[in-house]
Amino acid sequence: SLVDVLEETNVRRASYTSLRNSAIRLKDRVSSIPGRILRFSPKLGIAEKLSEDSSSSFGSKIKNFVTDELLSFPDRHSAWILKGYSAAREVIKENDSRIIFSSGPPHSTHIIGYLLKNKFGLPLVLEFRDPWVGNPYHDHKSALFLNLESRLQKKILRSADHIRASTEHLKHHLSSIEPACMGKISVGGAGFPDFINSGAGMDSSRIDDPYTITHAGT
């Protein structure tokens, strides 16, 4: 049952500090300084105010590059790759691990899986619950970073021994990105079918009406 699986699971936690969120907090503090200056300096003229506006616009461009491009590559959780890799490496060393399984998003998890495969030579299984490149809910990236992200995804897809997609649509999306992977992609509901088929936590004798399982995502 699901309870038995959870009791046998050894979770190794890896904490990290989000560099992106730290940069945003710093930006907010810095950007509030001109407003405080203007508030307490009523004698500032129009030229000075225009200069402040121009500086603020330039600062926003810099902020957007740092937070939405540099620190969001390949996703907003990229800062945990180092800690996640370090923790997973210790788990593999301490146990007789035979396979590496990574599930995304966050898709930075797949980078950890890729690095572990190169380190230990173990088979790598990637699970995609949502698209990586081409996901409309991700930050819009410049052509440069989008190209880098696409190249990285293709490299990781080619390195995988098996790929699991949550839907048929996602399967075709991944195979269109890297056609060579078509033969090693299967479709599954990100863990839901096994849970339902096991009957974990359900008393079927008490279910009289149809029920709906909703995957609401983030």
Over the stretch 31-78, which tens digit does the pLDDT of each residue have? 666 555 555 555 555 555 545 455 457 667 777 777 777 777 888 888
Mean pLDDT value of segment 184-209: 61
pTM score of the predicted model: 0.70
The model's confidence at residue 1, banded by pLDDT at 50, 70 and 90, is very low
Over the stretch 156-176, which tens digit does the pLDDT of each residue have? 999 999 999 988 999 999 999
Q: Using DSSP bridges, classify how beta strands 185-187 and 100-104 pair: parallel, antiparallel or unpaired.
A: unpaired
Query: Considering the chain, what percentage of its residues have pLDDT values greater than 70?
Result: 68
> CA–CA separation, 16 vs 95, rounded Å?
24
What is the distance of C-alpha 193 from the center of its chain? Answer: 23
Mean pLDDT value of segment 98-125: 94
pLDDT of residue 19: 75
Mean pLDDT value of segment 93-99: 89
Instruction: Reply yes or no on whether the pLDDT at 206 is more than 70.
Output: no
Mean pLDDT value of segment 6-23: 75
Lowest mean pLDDT among 80-94, 117-131, 170-184, 202-216: 202-216
User: Are 95 and 116 within 8 A, CB to CB?
Assistant: no
- Taking the alpha carbons at both ends of the chain, their separation in whole angstroms is 26
